[in-house]
Structure 1
Amino acid sequence: MLSSVPHAWHPERPRIRRAFAVLASAALLFTSACTVANSDAAGDAGDASGRTLRVVLEQEPPTLEPCESSLTSTGVVVRSNVTEPLIERDPTSGALRPLLATAWRQTSPTTWNFDLRSGVTFQNGQPFTAKDAAFAIDRAVNSDLSCNVDGYVFGDSRLGVQVNSATALTVTTEKPDPILPLRLSFVEIVPRTTSTEKKVRQPVGTGPYAISHWQTGVSITLTRNDTYWGHRPAFPKVRYVWRSESSVRAAMITKGEADISTALGPEDATGENSVAYPNNETTALRLDGREAPLDDIRVRKAIGMVIDRRAIVDTLFGGLGDPAAQLVPKGVVGFSKTLTPAPVDPKAARELVRAAAADGVPVKRQITLVARNGQFPRVAETAEALQYQMARLGLNVKIQMSDTAAHLQYQLRPLPTNVGPVALLIMHGNQAGDAAFTTSQYLLSDGPQSTFGTAELDRRIASANAQSGQARQEAFADVFADQNKTVAQYVYLAHMRGLLGLSSSVRYRPNSATGDELRLAEVSPADGKGH
């Protein structure tokens, strides 16, 4: 959720020597936890009988409203657990698979027909029909609820929805949309008795689990939906708790107080309590090209040439990442196999900065590097390393560590004014699997998370959006290449890998979607026995 809390400045003194020491020595400073904070009993995350799957999250979900499930903290509980969409995307292959819809076809540039699954009931016993699907789409996309899925996935466009029979639905778009089925995979289906006046606290869906109890600040409990139309999940009950510190979450796994934990830090993970997996997150510096000296492309490209991505990945990220050359990782439509990170070349980078200075660019003007506390493990040290490496160019960089609300002030339009040049440390996750969701936000001249761009890049993005199949892949790959060449708004760091805390008592294979939707039906007891 977006916060309206005004941002505050808390300048920090540059800590260049410390950042240099971190990179030069490759010494990781680990923290340890001897006790589990806020644990009121040995079974804090739930009973240890094996009948309750115990999951510990980083934070309490702000809402369980299904139309907000594109928010990671909500989707990790709701998506494909409590509610389901018509179609789901395979996170490994990218292929779309039937779920509540069994088939779909495009009958005109703006018209799609969907065949729906029969014999499905909601957790309240109400039958699922095309009327519910039409209602859920209308509620999420066409209503005044201000759903996150509306802006993020549909760009505030409107859809036409027509019920043809109990199991047939037609959806029309204002303009041709070759990826409408993919977009609809983000619309969670709810019964037509759901409120349209306000967002709901405990939704009803068709998923394998139903919400049993949400004790604010303590836990969320789900119970198995015994009338579920699909595969019966192994665990009768699931209990979520939340602990903000990675060391605490890791300790809960080690002590047998939890079966699964999201997002462990590398300093807390071992081969016994966790498993690494490639997620869809990419870290980068967004350079605000509206302000000198960052308004000069030579300075922006020089920063990209002096950053040692491999050292940052190996030293600060614990090897959990791959140096990046674009905002999307492999597996996303539009990822370019030909783009590679710029080689580290401080000499050539300094020449670019000197040339800019000779032309009157104020290269000594202070640049504020804004990063968010808790954004990813060792984020403060990463900011220090970036500060040090940019200082090698003669640039004057100060670090501003911020909370989430303050960071959002810099991340989203309308951007703050009178703050000077800003390099914003971002982490972008493309959970949808198509570059359209990245370019519309981060590369368009007026994108919600873009500071500037060019008319030519905007034209290329529009053209790519109209394509499908291989032509779409190639067009978006060209967009990313052109961004790097003609705009250079971003200095990419790494395509990240996550660490999932996993007890030896359960079996689960994480994938690139795990951080956004942890599918409980895919978790089984290690002994192979259901309950």
Structure 2
Amino acid sequence: MQIARQPRNRVTGALVASAVAVLTVSGCSVANTTRSESASADTLRIVLPQEPPTLEPCDASLTATGVVVRSNITQPLIERNPATGDLEPMLADSWQQVEPNLWRLNIVSGVQFSDGAPFDATDAAFSIERTFNGAIGCDVNGYVFDDSEIQVDAVNPTTLELRTEAPDPILPLRLSFIEMVPRTTDSEGKVREPVGTGPYMVDFWDSGQRIALKANPNYRGETPAFTRAVYQWRAEGSVRAAMVTNDEADIATSLGPEDGAGDLGISYVNNETTALRMHATEAPLDDLRVREAIDLSINREGIVDALFQGLGLPAAQLVGANIVGYNDALTPTPYDLERAKALIDEARADGVPVDRTIRLIGRTGQFPKINETIEAIQFSLSEIGLDVKIEMMDTSGQMQYQVRPFVPGAGPFLLMIMHGNQAGDTQFTLDQYMLSEGYQSSWGTAEYDDEIRAAEALTGDARQTALAAVLGDEPAEIRQYAYIAHMEAVLAKSPRVAYQPNSATGDEMRLAEMTQADASHD
């Protein structure tokens, strides 16, 4: 079937601010039902920062959805090993580029969905085509794929072919983001309780209260150690941590070091990088000197040390060290208020309206200490002569400023973003955040777009070198972002659970990797 690709939207106190400055000087809903859940040896109790907006598999690139769905309820054809970056078989056991524009995959035989229906290449083709259906508005479509056409053919039950308009050297990596669903799935609308091939299936979803999964009796692999999982959500990190320390939950995610997990807290490097995006189409942010001044005014080391308690590294680019294209020669922009103030004064003298109020937008609960981080930045920007107003929003409100089409008539604004490159290749970051018409990019240039496209067409060492050069050129040629920190995360874990979080845990927490352990084996 020939698929016309459609562009999709993706929907990654002043007291503290002063302290940082001093430091550097010195879904759908249904009627709720009542269910009782008692703790048992085979049940995992997990507390999340928010209720998943949906369990729709084609929205699994959304962190709040993927952490429940990916590799638990549904599975992709190919998966990426978060430790090595290698692509590994899942529902396809091999793949090859048989022509420059043609990839062929061999589909695993003998796999069943949780409803007992067999899985084969026809289901794989359906799942891919459904993801591309603009009527559904799949998040993974805009995040992973561009607007070119792809022809998908189930040649026979075990053979799938994909033909692209132009050679696509990373198509298998893209496919690792598409979760497989049965051909009987609604092709025109999103589903509430998905059917998949993973080790778990949906038991129930009490809207606003909890989601429960149970072991999939038709799963082809080993039965997981915990045959049941119950998810709840609490907005406050300290509450989530307390639920684990008080034995009301086994796993609590997205904690800060100050949330009180104590010895039950595990810190780990995740995929996320925080940055301030400068909407450069509006004065005064359309002046490169103003954007450079904002970049120079951010005290990255102070934020990481004082607010993140050392859990993170000051950032010089939007991807981390485990991503293809990472540029290890880049260094974070130095903190220099004097130089920043001089640039603002210079712009003012040239008639740039630097006194215009700039909105500083953050998302409530986006990461631990988000409010204090926003306030610290506002304090520094006021020191260099800019008038900045903080606006904290919920996810739905903030996303109107993060993804295209942006809110019309919004005026000049700075947006706190947090980007996690789950795929392991800088192309996914560039296409979304740096192409001039990227889904989460506010501007760019034709010349920089050409540089991006040329780098993305390469493979091997040449690809690494070219992508690194693209990242290196961004601050000088575009300076859309003021990079802040490569983040670390904290997870609280009960002594009865054996589990080691990894860089993908925030996006894809695999329950089958959790086993039972005595307190002595924590």
Do both proteins adopt the same fold according to a TM-score greater than 0.5, normalized to the shorter chain?
A: yes
Q: Which residue of 2 aligns with 1:117?
A: 108
Q: Deviations over 1:369-424 (max 9, x none)?
A: 11122222221211111111122222222222222232222222232344432111
- Normalising by structure 2, we get a TM-score of 0.91
The 2-side partners of 1:493 and 1:3 are apart by 22
Corresponding residue for 1:281? 272
Matched, 1:182 2:180: no
- Return the offset for 1:16: 5.3
Q: 1:145: which partner in 2?
A: 136
Give the superposition deviation at 1:142. 4.3
Aligned positions of 1:19-418 closer than 5 A:
19-24=17-22, 46-142=37-133, 144-418=135-409
Comparing 83-92 with 472-481, greater Cα deviation is found at 472-481
Q: 1:25 offset after TM fit, Å?
A: 5.8
SS of the residue corresponding to residue 513 of structure 1 reads: coil
Compute the displacement of 1:293 (Å).
Answer: 2.1
SS in 1 for 2:283: coil
**1:445-484 mapped onto 2 (5 Å cutoff):** 445-484=436-475
What SS does the corresponding residue of 1:262 show, helix, strand or coil? strand
Q: Distance in 2 between matches of 1:358 and 1:409?
A: 34
The 2-side partners of 1:217 and 1:112 are apart by: 43
1:411-458 superposed Cα distances (whole Å, 9 cap, x missing partner): 222323444321111111211222112111211112222221111111
Q: Indicate the percent of aligned positions where both proteins have the same amino acid.
A: 54
Task: For residue 210 of structure 1, give the secondary structure of its aligned residue in structure 2.
Answer: strand
Distance 1:523 1:374 in 2: 26
Q: Normalised by the size of structure 1, how large is the TM-score?
A: 0.90
User: Unpaired runs of 5+ in structure 1?
Assistant: 5-14, 27-40
Give the SS at the match of 1:112: strand
Q: CA deviation at 1:367?
A: 1.8
- In structure 2, the residue corresponding to 1:76 is in which secondary structure? helix
Cα distance change, pair 3–474 in 1 and its aligned pair in 2 (3 A) = closer
Structure 1 runs of 4+ with >6 Å offset: 1-4
Contact 2:313 2:486 in 1 (8 A): yes
For each residue in 1:450-469, what CA deviation from the matched residue of structure 2 results, as whole angstroms up to 9, or x when unmatched?
22111111101111221122
8 Å CA contact 1:302, 1:353 repeated in 2? yes
The alpha-carbon distance between structure 1 residues 488 and 210, as it changes in their structure 2 partners (threshold 3 A), is same
- 1:501 is matched with which residue: 492, 496, 502? 492
Measured on the aligned residues, the alpha-carbon RMSD in Å equals: 2.3
Contact 2:58-2:179 at 8 Å conserved across structures: yes
SS at match of 1:220: strand
Give 1:412's aligned amino acid: V
TM-superposed deviation, 1:523: 0.3
Aligned residue in 2 for 1:31: none
- Distance in 1 of aligned mates of 2:485 and 2:16: 22
Contact 1:65 1:200 in 2 (8 A): yes
Tell me the amino acid that sits aligned with residue 92 of structure 1: A
Residues of 2 paired with 1:473 and 1:320: CA distance?
Answer: 28
Contact 2:245 2:261 in 1 (8 A): no
**For 2:299 and 2:209, how far apart are their aligned partners in 1?**
42
Identify if the C-alpha distance between structure 1 residues 143 and 462 changes in structure 2 by more than 3 Å, giving closer, same or farther: same
Shift of 1:3: 11
Cα 1:340–1:246 shift into 2, 3 Å:
same
Distance of 1:452 and 1:2 partners within structure 2: 16
The one-letter amino acid of 2:18's match is F
Look up the equivalent residue of 1:24 and give its one-letter code: V
What SS does the corresponding residue of 2:263 show, helix, strand or coil?
coil
CA spacing shift, 1:197–1:344, aligned 2, 3 Å: closer
CA distance in 1, matches of 2:105, 2:204: 34
Deviations 1:95-139 (A, max 9, x none): 100111111000112100111111211112222211111121112
Mapped to 2, the partners of 1:280 and 1:339 lie a distance apart of 18
Following superposition, the deviation at residue 351 of structure 1 comes to 2.7
Which secondary structure does the structure 1 equivalent of 2:254 belong to?
Answer: coil
1:269–1:499 CA contact under 8 A, matched in 2: no
Spell out, residue by residue over 1:295-321, the C-alpha distance to the aligned partner (whole angstroms, 9 max, x if none): 111221122222210000111112121
